[in-house]
Structure 1
Amino acid sequence: MKKGLLILASIVITSVALLSACGKSNSTNGTQQVLNVATSAEMATLNTVKYSDTTSLEALQNSFEGLYRFNSKNKPVLAGASSVTVSKDQKTYTFNLRKNAKWSNGDPVTAADYVYAWRKMVDPASASPNSQRFEPIKNGTQIAAGKLTPDKLGIQALGKYKLQITLESPISYFSELMTGAPFYPQDEKVAKKYGSSYGTTSAKAVYNGPFVVTNWTGTNLKWNYVRNQNYWDKKAIKLKKVNVQVVKDAATGGNLYRTNKLDYVMLTTDYIKQYQRTSGYHSKPIPLIGYLSFNTHRSATANVHFRKAISMSFNKKTLANNILQVGSPLNGIVPKNFVYNSKTGDDYRQNAGNLLSYNLKAARAQWAQAKQELGKDKFTIQLLTSDTADSKQIGEYLQSQLETNLPGLTVEVRSIPLKSRLAATSAYNFDIVYGTWQPDYADPVNFISDGGQYHLNDDYQNSNFRKLLNQAATTYATDPAKRWNTLIQAEKQLLQTDAFTAPVYQGGMSYLLKNKVKGLQISPYGTVLFYRNVELK
């Protein structure tokens, strides 16, 4: 498929940490409202149409703003819009945009900017990794399939500051969906000026969010978020500047932290135990997942028995407890404690059950069948990961498990920078890729129809799966019980029957936070940080 949100940031963010300083904080820094942070992977793009990694997503969600945003309690509230009316059938939303909202270059943010960005997003020519997010919007699916032109998308400007959005069917998560980066506007004048190079550097984009990105050349490992002086609610933004640098080595990050050069730094899983007893340490499960995606255009990984053997042949409990030291095994694409049945209150994962569990006996039976069908006894495959410490460590663990448990299999781990890994996966330059992904809204379909699964829309055309997704989106859109069961059947088709992707684990987040940092928010759907409400005291 066109790779989904996200995220797929192949960073095992299961161990993200916000470190509190050992010594005294820099009081001058606090007075100046400047925050120094580290991230473990480079940024890929500032184009809302093109992103598919967590670092880019974090930059976009702090420098752009859509119709809705999350408030301090992580609830969606109106942002770029000042008011909204909803039709009786709950399929048409009419927004009045804020007339004082401007781009960082002074241009007004208009309804036409939303129409332009959304049409570009669904246009097959854009090859957006996030086009599937528009399936709930009227004609979104048909446009992505090339059956209709982008101008038929259910969005139109009724005036300079009036925007109307029409859905295929009512959805309960509309406001949460609209907080996502794919639904942000773009300044049409600027985007057309730069063309294919739009968003490839911080200077080749303009921003309508609380911060402006500066000093990113497209390849460098340092950049800044600076308070946007044209932001409509700039008086609410206390933080003056965020200095960001990529630090892939946890030891280096720790040293920068200890010398008070960083307020926030990423840690690998090796360092969790070291900081567990530190004041301010926190750890919690999050709906981030680790997964394996298969290239079905190559003979071995196109074989369903080969994929099932891989999916069931590694011990997930050992991975979570001994390697990650946070998080838990995951036996479905939808994580646990993420979304609940509106009628019964049941957790989705509990209802759907375990679909691809560690089962060595079953894995070897599938392995024998794969060998027979493929006419070979020995296979060499490549496992692609990013080059962060955690991703490489997980890659090596999977390599050891697969080679030990599936006789005749050789696994070569290829770890490359995240930006290169994303490009390689999009270009089908892999056998199996390991990545992570975090959702955009609290509904099972966000994982089942996306979930970080590369080339899902392009390569997985199972008619029953597509029928079930369509029924969930239309026929049962207003029948929660039937929709719930239909999505469970779709997930079983995807994983249990066809093993198109392999769930690995559900993430956790461990962090320490300096006492002087107030108002730092973590996305309710993963690990992205929101700086809008931060104040240093």
Structure 2
Amino acid sequence: MQGDEGFFCFILGHMYQGGIFMTKKLPIRLASVVALGLLTISGAQELVLKPILHPQSIEAKEKEEKIVVKAIETAEVTAFDSVKCYDVISQDALSKIGEGLVKFNDEGKIVPAGAIELPKVSEDGLTYSFKLRPEAKFSNGEKITAKDYVYAFRRLADPKTASANARKATFLKNGEAIVDGKAKPETLGVEAISDDELKVTVEKALPNVLNLLAGTNFFPQSQSFVEKAGEGYGTSSDKILSNGPFVVKGWDSTSMNYSYEKNPNYYDTKKVQVDEVQVAIVKDPNTIVNLYESGEADIAPISGSLLNQYRGKKELKSFPGSSHSYLELGIGYAKALNNENLRQALSYAIDRKTIAEKILSGNATPVKGLVAPNSVFDPKSGKDFTEDSKDFGKYDLKKAKAYWAKAKKELGVDKVEFDLLVTDAEGPKKIGEYIQGQVNNNLKGIKINLLPLPAKARFKKLLAHQFDLALGGWQGDSGDALEYIANFRTGVTHNHGQYVDKAFDEQLDKIEGELSQPGKEVEREKALHEAENYLAEHKAFIPTIQNNSSYLVDKKIKKIATIPGKAIDYTTLRVEEKK
């Protein structure tokens, strides 16, 4: 738009407020100025237009040329500190503003990112030598060097950092000893050979080292920036340093509206078409659909019964997930849940097929065990690990009632009551409501109360082990089934329910020890299945479903993809530009 037409669209058009574009009435004085401009244009156009319209016209033109996408999310981001990042929501957000030495592309393959090429690996499989991109910079223009990776890796493993994901550093040489406080962070297997050369040494040869290094916890960090921000690092936009395709603006831990803006210092910024992604946190599914239909959202997540309205339409895009939303059991908190028969009763009372097909309208898949489908594949054959998994997600009310009868005798009670913790987004709440109804209506004497909380508050309770039941789960990113299974080792951070089993811990010791050696791959996979079966048989968790991701996508977006099993990749979004 040009001239006075651009001015009036700027004034009278949509104004942004709270993440939703709304039309507003003009204040009287402003309306008078506009009216005056209209009256005088015919008689003295040059005199009136120059002082009043020129600045706004420039701004309108800039806005018109800027490619902006409006997206909706359903849960708040808890923090943007890659070293301390723990939950799926924060991992997905961090993947938009950062990257590590390598990353997954849209086809699920490992490709160079902060490194200019894939590393050279020593014959014994213990040393990985990376050459870094000399042009790579942080969002403040500071050059990224090998020291920034060294600092981040050490900070992750250092007990003083208290990262909930510290154990992800244990595959590095001396990593476990450092995490356990038995060695200094300086002894970690990461070394800056020069500004552009990094050497990573692992404790033992593993087939998935690059998968691990692609995780958000291994993004580089500037020591001077992090230390200057102190405890506030990653808690607001002005205390976040990016090294990826976007920077986050207008965000803090309570924000319901913020944006991702293209990072001009990103080495590959020319390949990113979108200039800005405006994000609004909206939890009500009907509101989400209304915003999409009214043109206030270009990308809108959709689930539940609303999906049926869009079946077969081009605007509905669906992607398979890689996370497993299972029921976590507060065995160390709720005394009654120490009873295995009670846990068996709860599991058999849940109909996963109904959750997947009716509650979530086909936007999910029942899960048989612990490891989620589409997350772990044999590196040679490409076979999905879960193809050989036993089915521990069976629905059988008769068995559920029989196990509950046994549990009552063993516990010496006829009634038990539990709170079920869920995130306050619509999908988790609907799953929680279904489980609540199934158990309360069919297992007389068991009462479940639904407790929806914002994501940050829910994670706080999980990490403090202060819950009875929780709809939690895990999204793997290492390509190894061990990532799911090891979460139930005694004393580890992700063992939210405080499950303790010496026999299981010994199984893990064998998998992580002798079976991790080259040539033991077949035995190792067999042992992983046995360990998964052991957990499932003893109901250390209760399998439920794997969520798929579905979105309503505006027709102006010509290409949209996800990193397999994860969030939308904004770097590869392609939008039809205005002519």
* Matching residue of 2:531: 490
**Structure 2 contact 474–484 (Cα < 8 Å) conserved:** no
Aligned mates of 2:184, 2:267 — CA distance in 1: 34
Query: Once the 2 structures are TM-superposed, how far is the Cα of residue 337 of structure 1 from its aligned partner?
Result: 4.6
2:227 aligns to what SS in structure 1? helix
- Note if contact 1:136-1:167 (Cα within 8 Å) is conserved in structure 2: yes
Q: Deviations over 1:292-345 (max 9, x none)?
A: 111122212233332222222211111111101222221201123543445666
Choose which of 379, 385, 399 in structure 1 pairs with 2:416: 379
1:244 to 2:285 alignment: no
Kept after mapping to 1: 8 A contact 2:301/2:552: no
SS at match of 2:255: coil
Distance in 2, Cα, partners of 1:115 & 1:221: 34
Query: CA–CA distance in 1 between the matches of 2:382 and 2:139?
Result: 44
Which residue of 489, 509, 527 corresponds with 2:566? Answer: 527
Aligned residue runs from structure 1 range 37-436, under 5 A: 37-83=71-117, 84-298=119-333, 299-326=335-362, 327-341=364-378, 346-436=383-473
Give the superposed CA RMSD.
2.5
Distance 1:341 1:450 in 2: 21
Distance in 2, Cα, partners of 1:451 & 1:511? 33
Q: Residue type matched to 1:475 in 2?
A: E
Pairwise mapping of residues 457-476 of structure 1 onto structure 2 (< 5 A)? 459-476=498-515
Question: For each residue in 1:459-500, what CA deviation from the matched residue of structure 2 results, as whole angstroms up to 9, or x when unmatched?
Answer: 344333233333333422322211110101111222213x22
Give me the whole-angstrom Cα distance separating, in 2, the residues matched to 1:29 and 1:256.
Answer: 21
Q: Structure 1 residues 364 and 136, CA, compared in 2 at 3 Å: closer, same or farther?
A: farther
Specify whether residues 517 and 282 from structure 1 end up closer, same or farther in structure 2 by C-alpha distance, changes over 3 A only: closer
Q: Which has the higher contact order (CA 8 A, sep 6+)?
A: 1
Distance 1:136 1:216, change over 3 A: same
Rate the CA distance shift 1:360–1:122 in 2: closer, same or farther, 3 A. Answer: farther
| Pairwise CA distance, 1:262 | 1.0
Identity %: 35
User: What's the CA shift for 1:133?
Assistant: 2.2
CA distance in 1, matches of 2:69, 2:317: 20
Once the two structures are superposed, residues 380-414 of structure 1 have per-residue CA deviations (whole angstroms, 9 ceiling, x without a partner) of 11001111111111111000111123221111101
Task: Give the structure 1 partner of residue 547 of structure 2.
Answer: 507
Kindly indicate whether residue 74 of structure 2 is the aligned counterpart of residue 33 of structure 1. Answer: no
Letter in 1 for 2:204: S
Contact 2:329 2:469 in 1 (8 A): yes
Q: Supply the AA of the counterpart residue of 1:522.
A: T
- Pair member with larger Rg: 2
Q: Which amino acid aligns with 1:303?
A: N
Distance 1:163 1:109, change over 3 A: same
After the TM superposition, which of the residue ranges 280-289 and 54-63 deviates more from structure 2? 280-289
Please say which of residues 198-207 and 294-303 is displaced more in the overlay: 294-303
Deviation at 1:199, TM superposition (A): 0.4
Using the TM superposition, give the Cα deviation of residue 85 of structure 1 relative to its aligned residue in structure 2, in angstroms. Answer: 1.3
CA 1:418–1:168: 2 relative to 1, 3 Å = same
Q: C-alpha separation between the residues in 1 aligned to 2:63 and 2:370?
A: 43
Report if aligned partners of 2:133, 2:196 keep a CA contact under 8 Å in 1: yes
Measure, in 2, the Cα distance between the counterparts of 1:364 and 1:183. 47
Q: Any idea what SS the aligned residue of 1:383 has? A: strand
Contact 2:328–2:497 (Cα < 8 Å) also in 1: no
SS of the residue corresponding to residue 81 of structure 1 reads coil
How far is the alpha carbon of 1:357 from its aligned partner? Answer: 2.6
1:283 and 1:495 mapped to 2: Cα distance? 29
| Cα gap change, 1:320 to 1:72, in 2 (>3 Å) | closer
State TM-score, norm by structure 2. Answer: 0.83
Given that residues 77 and 253 in structure 2 are in contact (C-alpha distance below 8 angstroms), is that contact kept between their aligned partners in structure 1?
Answer: yes
In structure 2, runs of 5+ residues without a counterpart are 1-60
Per-residue displacement from partner, 1:425-462 (whole Å, max 9, x unpaired)?
22223111112532213222222224999742893443
C-alpha separation in 1, matches of 2:68 and 2:91: 21
Structure 1 range deviating more: 31-40 or 438-447 = 438-447
**Cα 1:406–1:228 shift into 2, 3 Å:** same
Match of 2:495 among 447, 451, 456: 456
TM-score, scaled relative to structure 1: 0.89
Give the conservation status (yes or no) of the 8 Å contact 2:330–2:496: no
Name the CA shift for 1:420/1:535 in 2 (closer, same or farther; >3 Å): same
Q: Conserved in 2, the CA contact under 8 Å of 1:313 and 1:402?
A: yes
Q: Runs ≥4 in structure 1, deviation > 6 angstroms? A: 27-30, 451-454
Counterpart secondary structure, 2:353: helix
Go from structure 1 to structure 2 and tell me whether the alpha carbon gap of 1:343 and 1:215 turns closer, same or farther (over 3 Å shift): closer
Q: Is the 8 A contact 1:425 1:454 kept in 2?
A: no
Deviation of residue 79 (structure 1)?
Answer: 0.8
Tell me the residue number matched to 2:30: none
Specify which of 457, 466, 480 is matched with residue 443 of structure 1.
480
Q: Structure 1 residues 149, 458: CA separation in 2 closer, same or farther (over 3 Å shift)? A: farther
Partners of 1:253 and 1:71 in 2: how far apart?
29
What secondary structure sits across from 1:286 in the alignment?
coil
**Cα deviation, residue 30, structure 1:** 8.0
Maintained 8 Å contact 2:258/2:279: yes
Cα distance in 2 between the residues matched to 1:102 and 1:343? 36
1:30, 1:536 within 8 Å by CA — same for their partners in 2?
A: no
Stretch deviating more after TM superposition (78-87 or 458-467): 458-467
Look up the equivalent residue of 1:410 and give its one-letter code: K
Equivalenced residues, count: 510
Shift of 1:180: 1.3
For the Cα contact (< 8 Å) 1:62–1:210, is it kept in 2? yes
Report if aligned partners of 2:92, 2:566 keep a CA contact under 8 Å in 1: no
Distance (whole Å) between structure 2 residues aligned to residue 365 and residue 143 of structure 1: 48
Are the counterparts in 2 of residues 356 and 496 from structure 1 also a CA contact under 8 Å? no
1:208: Cα distance to partner? 0.7
Report if the CA contact (8 A) 1:313-1:358 is conserved: yes
Distance 2:160 2:542 in 1: 29
